[in-house]
Amino acid sequence: MINHAKVVTLISCIVLFSVAYSFAQQTNLQDISTPEFSKIDKDHNGFISSTEMQAYQADKFKELDKNNNGYLDAKELAADKTKMLQPADKNKDGNVNQEESAAQFKQYFQEMDKNKDGQISEAEYTDYWKMIHRF
């Protein structure tokens, strides 16, 4: 008998690693390490809080939404050099809305926060991208 939960988990892992591999192939690790961390860490305390991650996500979304229609289309997504928002199109309609973007950044935050203390250290941040970059 097939365990559907295990199949879904396996498929999710494959998709995540595929996205990670694609991201790593298209992104220069130097672009997302310390300089990007510093952009997110607004209070410069050496940690990224959930609030700072949400603010960064909102700023990133606004920056990419050139026509201010509340959606990132394929052309706007292609302009994102970090490729962080491409996996956010969960409904596969070719657009990313603010809700999808926020959900993707929440997922990133949870994945980066290895010790689950509610904040991301620079080491957690760079370790996450190094791990992604290895694939």
**pLDDT tens digits along 35-59:** 788 889 999 999 999 999 999 999 9
The closest alpha carbon to 106, from 64, 56, 68, 66, belongs to: 56
Give the chain's domain count.
1
**DSSP, res 45:** S
Q: How many CA atoms lie within 13 A of 81 on its CB side?
A: 7
**pLDDT tens digits along 15-41:** 444 444 444 444 444 444 567 888 899
Which of 56-60, 68-72, 76-80, 81-85 has the lowest average pLDDT? 81-85
The parent domain of residue 94 ranges over: 4-134
94 vs 74: CA distance, rounded Å: 6
